[in-house]
Amino acid sequence: MINARRSFTQIFLVPAIIAVIVAFGLVSALLGDGIWDTTSWIALGVPLAVTAFFACRAR
């Protein structure tokens, strides 16, 4: 295992971005119909896509 020192920003930047995208997806799902539904589906699919990407990459 490589013992690399990482800053607070390097550790939490990507999870924070994903959290903001998910929060936007949840709010857009509550706002209305039409384009809001589409944006909410896309935003809420981001964590699933990231998880699937890294799960396939690990194999």
User: What is the pLDDT, as a whole number, of residue 15?
Assistant: 95
Q: Which of 7-11, 40-44, 46-50 is predicted with the least confidence, judged by mean pLDDT?
A: 7-11
What confidence score (pLDDT) does residue 3 get? Answer: 67
pLDDT (0 to 100) of residue 56: 95
pTM for this structure? 0.82
Q: Return the closest-CA partner of residue 28 out of 17, 15, 42.
A: 42
Average pLDDT for the chain: 91
**Residue 1 pLDDT > 60:** no
Buried b vs exposed e over 29-54: b needs ≥16 C-beta within 10 Å? eeeeeeeeeebbeebbeeeeeeeeee
Going by the DSSP 8-state scheme, the letter that residue 34 receives in this structure is: T
